[in-house]
Amino acid sequence: MSDEDLIGYLFDLLDPEDRAAVVARVGSDPDVAARLEMLRAVATPVFVTAEAERDDPPEPPPGLAVRAIAKVARYVVEHEPRAIEPEPAEPVVTTFLREFASDAPVDFEFEPGTRAKVPGVPTAAAPPVSDGPDPQSGHRFRIDLIVAAGIAFLGFGLLFSGIAKARQQQRVYACQNNLLTLHTGLTGYAEAKDGHYPQIGTTGHPTADTFATELTDLGQLPAGYRPGCPTSTNYVAYAYTLGFREPGGKLRGLRRSDGLATEGNEHDLMPISADFPTVRASPGAGPVSPHAGCMNVLFVGGNVRLTTSPFVGPGGDDIYRNVFGHVGAGVDRNDAVLGRPGDRP
């Protein structure tokens, strides 16, 4: 097991299959588990810094963009090599006048019968066309300055775009870590409840937003934990599983994945919680994902996946609708449906 795999596991960059392989290896190999803990300790400052800057990201110093553009423009003007322009070819008229001035005196005839004698003409050569100040030097300087400024603006546009993407990625990672904390609470609950996760549709938990109450009451979640995206103030809870119905119609909730169980065993890739759906994935009116077109999905096995599509359930089904296209309990054990606050099985 390479360090790249372990680092990818820490930052949740692996595919679900690779992540499951890492979890299995860490559980069976003490050396790999020790390396993972060492890498986690090394990466702790990164997580701490990301958490500290999440609510109060640093701003660039005032006037940074203007000063940088000015420096780039000055450097380009002073150091950019210019192609040497060839001397312009002598016009035909200038050549003719120079040759004419070097000839002997010539008689000019203006009208028939009238002649004018030109006693002589100066033989001094006409000044070269290139003599005198170059009228295009200032123009060339202005073009260089405009090009330099354009390059600088383009560079800063890319820089600010990269900063925005980095902040968006930071918000996604913070939400993924929050979902992993939620999975820890769900696992503790399942251990105390014979492998069952909180079931929605009961008297105590009639809707999808009430599952976190029992986790909190039982002390399975840390103090101050918020069961929703930590980067948004408008999202109260995550979407949560609405369970499924048995062939006889009885409502069932999900169970913890157990490889030794002969029945009632949930697949590691069965979704149990997630961000609210995106606008495109939404099954109806209601709050949507705070992550601008993507969603974090928590699976029973404990892995979190960032996706832009709702079709990540077993067999590629929509995780926000059952196979009939309704918001309600799944029609069988493999039909995953996650509900938002107020949704019922």
- Kindly report, residue by residue over 61-74, the tens digit of the pLDDT: 666 666 777 777 77
Q: What is residue 261's predicted lDDT score, i.e. its pLDDT?
A: 47
Domain residue extents for the chain? 1-46, 170-345
Instruction: Give the integer Cα–Cα distance in Å for 172 and 25.
Output: 27
Q: 126 Cβ partners below 8 Å, 6+ apart?
A: 94, 97, 98
Which has the closest alpha carbon to 29: 13, 6, 7, 10?
A: 6
What is d(CA 36, CA 14) in angstroms, rounded to the nearest whole number?
15
In degrees and rounded to multiples of 5, residue 224 shows phi and psi of 80, 0
> How far is Cα 204 from Cα 40, in angstroms, rounded to an integer?
39
What pLDDT does 58 receive?
67
Q: Are 303 and 55 in contact (CB under 8 A)?
A: no
Nearest to 202, CA basis, from 270, 274, 253: 253
DSSP per-residue letters across 224-241: T--SS-TT-SS----EEE
Buried b (16+ CB within 10 A) or exposed e, 3-14: eebbbbbbebeb
Can you tell me whether residue 308 is helix, strand or coil? coil
Distance CA 175, CA 112 (A): 102
pLDDT at 262: 47
pLDDT at 36: 81
pTM for the model: 0.52
Per-residue pLDDT of the chain (345 residues; tens, 9 = 90+): 788 888 888 777 788 888 888 888 888 888 888 888 888 887 777 766 766 666 666 666 666 666 777 777 777 667 666 656 565 566 655 666 566 566 545 554 545 555 545 455 555 555 555 555 555 555 555 666 676 666 766 665 665 555 666 677 777 888 888 888 888 888 888 888 888 888 888 888 889 888 887 788 788 888 777 778 776 666 657 899 998 998 888 998 888 876 544 455 667 788 999 988 998 889 888 888 888 788 899 998 888 988 999 999 888 889 999 988 999 999 888 889 999 988 998
**DSSP letter, residue 334:** T
**Rg of the Cα atoms in the chain:** 38
